[in-house]
Structure 1
Amino acid sequence: MSKADYSPAVAYLEEQPASAFEQLVEAVLERRRQPEDRYEIAAILESLGWNDERAEAAFGVEDVFALADEIWDTVSQRFVSTPFELQEKLGGIRLIMEVIRSFLRGLIFALPMAISVFAMLTLRFSLWSYERLSIDFATSIAIGTILSFLTVGGFTQAIARRGFFYLSQHYYYMSRKITFYFIRVGFLACACVSVVIYLADVIFNLYPSSMFWIIVLYYFFLNSIWLSVTVMYLLRKELTFTGLIACGIAIVYLLFKIVDMPIIQAQLIAVSLVSIAGMGLAYYFFRQAEKKEEKGIAPKLTRLSVMVYGVMPYFIYGFLYFAFLYTDRVMAWSTDHAWDPDQQYMPYFLWFRGPYELGLDFALLVLMIPLGISEVVVSKMMRDLETSQKSFLGFDTQRMNDLYRSMYLKMLGVISIASLISALLVYWALIYFDDKYMIYYGKHLIADDGSHASWITWFVFYISLAAYAILSIGLMNAVILFSLSQPQFVNRALVPALAVNVLTGFLLTRWVDYSWAVIGLLLGSVMFAVLSTQNLLKVLKKLDYYLYATS
């Protein structure tokens, strides 16, 4: 029975003193602040001693359920009309500063990569690469680098997820404890992988000992660097890591150019110093942050089984993401073609292909601007979403869902335009520096003599430029889904994309040419962008549900 169905019983109820009925409502709400429905209210009334006769005598209703209907209507109106304290909207200078800050934070993620490329253009070496490195040493360093990303990719995601969970609540001690737990496990995994590749090398004689130990040393020290940089990003000390990379390159310059030490030894010393300094600074920054923590009862760490279950989707994403990025290289470097004048045979299972890698390295710069733009638009979306949860009424969820679906489509347009502009800028910059390189060093960055190697570099550059631009769309989708605590939708898009990358790259490198591995990267990026967009639209269609599930 509701007030819409006006009856003598309701009229009698309205004639009673308001205080008696209000007192009964308050008594019910003391038992249950937010009743699920009218039946729960009826049960509460019976627990308070109300029966049909008493309800009829006191309020003129037929029974307890009729009285529960009236209380439910009153309680529902209270919930709908309760005012919310809206979050203050940013405007003017504050909004501009927030946008600039978000853009720079996104841009800083790619800054170490940009510094490394700049060092290669000017000094012709960086912290772990060198233009004139022999192919066997280049192969060793490349394998160590790929293994390091594959090993710690999952741990960096777990650290970022769980460490930030405690940081957001200002539990710095707990964040440090869980972060360095994952770091220890990451080093243990590194040791286990080192043993496995040592046994594989002994059994199958994959590489000579000189190459094997370079693989292991670079693998170990780079693992340490990636783990420490995750902590710095977690504590918003990104520029510190950029400074470490610059200092590492300076150490290589000092040892290689001034002391005249062999490049491999100089880089190993620099990488080891950067990794040790990175870990030391990570621990120092955490200890400094703990001083700001309020003293009191700290929560206990989540049980290991529960924690592993919670971070496993993010761990899987970390592995899948780096596997996706390096699949095309593995396909290209494991192909043997007799018509390739630069490499007519494969001395080892994986063999570094410089022209292919050069094209990828230049194209990778295209991600800088989209990463900055992505940070801006995603931050705005999450900030608006926090406000919308307080401003939209409970029965108006569909309008909220439609609003954020429309907002996302605009974000999709913005990131697409930003990626296109970034690709054009990188292309023009490469043409410009190629001419300057010719003026200063007497040769082009990418040989234009029509050789097979120069053709491959330009071909890979063009295709990977498009691939990375498209990939930036998928990465923005991933960040949004992570912010909504829906990593499973990211992985559901990344697994098919990785499969397309592997299958296409394998077939084309075996049927056509090793440089065609980049086609697998392009098609995989398209697949990831499309599937992640579809999955995100599904989430936004039921955004209210996923927000409730997240909370």
Structure 2
Amino acid sequence: MKNFNIAENKIDILAFQIKERIGKSVSVNVTQAIIESFGIRQVDVLSDYGIPTIEELAQVVHQNLEKRNHENVLTDDNPVPKVKKITNVKNFLKDYITGIIHVFPIFFQVLSVVIFGYSLWVYADFNILQSTSVVVGVMSSLILTGGVVTVVSKQISFYWNHKNEEMVFQTTVYLLKKGFQVLFLGNLFLIIFSVILGLFAIEMAFLSSIYSMLIGGILLFIAPLHVIKRRGIITVSIIVGTVVSLILKYYTSLSIYITHWLGISLVTLILFLYLLLYFIKRKIVFNKFSHKDVHSEFIVYNNYIYFFYGTLFYFYIFLDRILAWSVQEKERFLYFIFFEKDYEIGMDIALLTYLLVAGIMEFSISSFTTVLDDMQSQIKATETQNYGRLFLKKYFRNVLLLTLSCCLAFSIQAFLMYSPHGYNSFFDEDLNDLNIKVCILGSLGYFFLSWAALNVLYFFTLGQPLKAFNGLLIAILCNVSVGLFLSRLMSYELSVIGFLFGSFVFMLYTTYHLRGFFKKMDYYYYAAF
């Protein structure tokens, strides 16, 4: 009897601690999540509380909490919680425009290519060897920085949301250093492997590495500026760098490489100085932080899945191109891959699908996080079964918006491909059947990839990256297997079908598991926050 009373008192104490932590617990799942967050282990539950499992302990504690809060429980017979409407037209337009502004620098680069045949790292008169070198540099910069950029977005956002600008600064400096180290080592390996395995000529490998390092620098500095919501400077720096680069091209005798490198370096310099001045204005840069040093073990433990996801995501983006460009035709036998213009033109037009849905993703996550916070103050303990149902309904509304946005992109692509005032009116060489076929299949692939990326944002918001990572691994396997088979046995451009199939599987996998998350939204919300 004495042991029983001790266990009962411990349950009362545990219930009191949970009430102090979160106030009202909306479900048993939430109670279990908080119990686990206290470090209580399954093996200790029986000896400490006299109950066999954590699940049963959570039920007992939750009943205890309900008794404590009985006078506060509402008795409204309406089974659906009344949540104020936040996804109105004004919010949608605001978030959509914000998302589109994020990708405006890419549109500006495309516009520069259309008008001048030139941008920060593109030149229409490059030969196939030069084009291959530059494209490999662009791909490697995105792949090598993708993991670090994803970690920057996740880890710095945590400190930014908690208004800890000192740790924002320290973590930014730490991660940018690591990002440049990854860039340098990755490109060093590219050069070494090119020499040993004959992937590229040594001159091509060096040229690719220079472009990779310079473009990677831009990407690394953009990441923290996104987090601290200083995104306008990104567009300004890209425009300034492009304009200066164009002036150097037309009014000096410098080589195209030098004009590119100076333009890209100017963009990086502007971003670096702006970021530095931002922290100097807040009197953070020159402070001493010995008591708040960034712990690399903590960063690695909390973010390694995000790092691998970011790296592999950009690898996935370029995987179909690598498969298509590595088909060994007689004029390409010298190197591992050769740039294929017809394939790239089709995929570049298809990319418009992905760019135009950026605003939908911004709106979806903005509304999702707002509703999460709003629901906590309005949900009733007796109505938790409707909690996930509400989010599922809003999720499919956002998927509908995504679909409509993609339909708009398809319409613009159709205009570019078939209108006399489209692509053919701007370039000397008309679109051919291969361009159009790749564009159509690639656009469908980008639609499914956009849907999957939207799902991933939900997983990341809830601190559940593993499902997203597993889905991406499956998508890569599908992409490789289908793309490799079709490109080798039929025609090289059919590697785009591997991209389409992999993106479709990625979407299905993440959608299926996201529905499961919505069903236990109360648990995952408290586990994440």
For the Cα contact (< 8 Å) 2:99–2:361, is it kept in 1? yes
The aligned counterpart of 2:297 is 305
Letter in 2 for 1:335: V
> C-alpha distance in 2, partners of 1:440/1:411?
35
Match 1:335 to one of 327, 336, 341: 327
> C-alpha distance in 2, partners of 1:73/1:461?
58
- The root-mean-square deviation of aligned C-alpha atoms, in Å, is 3.2
Match 1:521 to one of 499, 507, 515: 499
Letter in 2 for 1:466: L
Aligned pairs for 1:277-356 (under 5 A) are 277-288=270-281, 300=292, 303-338=295-330, 344-356=331-343
Letter in 1 for 2:186: V
> C-alpha distance in 2, partners of 1:131/1:535?
44
The aligned counterpart of 1:267 is 260
Deviates more, 1:99-108 or 1:114-123: 99-108
Q: Using a 3 Å threshold, how does the CA distance of structure 1 residues 506 and 437 change in structure 2: closer, same or farther?
A: closer
Task: Report the alpha carbon displacement of residue 138 of structure 1 after superposing the two structures with TM.
Answer: 0.7
2:184 aligned with 1:191:
yes
2:241 aligned with 1:248:
yes
> C-alpha distance in 2, partners of 1:302/1:193?
24
Q: Deviations over 1:343-378 (max 9, x none)?
A: x33221111111111111111112233211222133
Match of 2:377, SS state, is: helix
The aligned counterpart of 1:532 is 510
The aligned counterpart of 1:62 is none
Match of 1:356, SS state, is: helix
How many residues end up aligned between the 2 structures?
Answer: 473
2:407 aligned with 1:398:
no
Greater RCO between the two (CA within 8 Å, min separation 6)? 2
Task: Report the alpha carbon displacement of residue 89 of structure 1 after superposing the two structures with TM.
Answer: 5.1
The aligned counterpart of 2:214 is 221
> C-alpha distance in 2, partners of 1:34/1:238?
40
> C-alpha distance in 2, partners of 1:195/1:164?
31
Runs of 5+ unmatched residues, structure 2: 1-11, 20-24, 29-60
- TM-score, normalised via structure 2 length: 0.82
The aligned counterpart of 2:525 is 547
Task: Report the alpha carbon displacement of residue 437 of structure 1 after superposing the two structures with TM.
Answer: 6.0
Q: Deviations over 1:244-288 (max 9, x none)?
A: 222222122111112143222211221122223222222223333
Aligned pairs for 1:42-57 (under 5 A) are none
Match 1:484 to one of 437, 462, 472: 462
Aligned pairs for 1:111-122 (under 5 A) are 111-122=104-115
Task: Report the alpha carbon displacement of residue 99 of structure 1 after superposing the two structures with TM.
Answer: 2.8
> C-alpha distance in 1, partners of 2:18/2:235?
51
For the Cα contact (< 8 Å) 2:384–2:522, is it kept in 1? yes
Q: Using a 3 Å threshold, how does the CA distance of structure 1 residues 277 and 356 change in structure 2: closer, same or farther?
A: same
Letter in 2 for 1:393: K
Aligned pairs for 1:439-478 (under 5 A) are 443-444=428-429, 446-447=430-431, 454-478=432-456
Match 2:141 to one of 145, 148, 159: 148
For the Cα contact (< 8 Å) 2:191–2:202, is it kept in 1? no
2:407 aligned with 1:409:
no
Runs (4+) of structure 1 moved beyond 6 Å?
Answer: 28-31, 70-73
Q: Using a 3 Å threshold, how does the CA distance of structure 1 residues 177 and 511 change in structure 2: closer, same or farther?
A: same
The aligned counterpart of 1:53 is none
Task: Report the alpha carbon displacement of residue 73 of structure 1 after superposing the two structures with TM.
Answer: 7.5
For the Cα contact (< 8 Å) 1:144–1:216, is it kept in 2? yes
Q: Using a 3 Å threshold, how does the CA distance of structure 1 residues 207 and 401 change in structure 2: closer, same or farther?
A: closer
For the Cα contact (< 8 Å) 2:195–2:202, is it kept in 1? no
> C-alpha distance in 1, partners of 2:257/2:490?
35
Identity, in percent, stands at 23
Q: Using a 3 Å threshold, how does the CA distance of structure 1 residues 31 and 136 change in structure 2: closer, same or farther?
A: closer
Q: Using a 3 Å threshold, how does the CA distance of structure 1 residues 390 and 123 change in structure 2: closer, same or farther?
A: same
Task: Report the alpha carbon displacement of residue 101 of structure 1 after superposing the two structures with TM.
Answer: 2.3
Q: Using a 3 Å threshold, how does the CA distance of structure 1 residues 236 and 527 change in structure 2: closer, same or farther?
A: same
- TM-score, normalised via structure 1 length: 0.79
> C-alpha distance in 2, partners of 1:516/1:279?
42
For the Cα contact (< 8 Å) 1:364–1:468, is it kept in 2? yes
Between structure 1 and structure 2, the one with the greater Rg is: 1
Letter in 2 for 1:376: F
The aligned counterpart of 1:341 is none
Match 1:171 to one of 161, 164, 177: 164
For the Cα contact (< 8 Å) 1:255–1:266, is it kept in 2? yes
For the Cα contact (< 8 Å) 2:356–2:405, is it kept in 1? yes
Task: Report the alpha carbon displacement of residue 72 of structure 1 after superposing the two structures with TM.
Answer: 7.6
Match of 1:274, SS state, is: helix
For the Cα contact (< 8 Å) 1:252–1:270, is it kept in 2? yes
For the Cα contact (< 8 Å) 2:399–2:451, is it kept in 1? yes
Q: Using a 3 Å threshold, how does the CA distance of structure 1 residues 30 and 121 change in structure 2: closer, same or farther?
A: closer
> C-alpha distance in 1, partners of 2:424/2:18?
74
The aligned counterpart of 1:511 is 489
Letter in 2 for 1:230: A
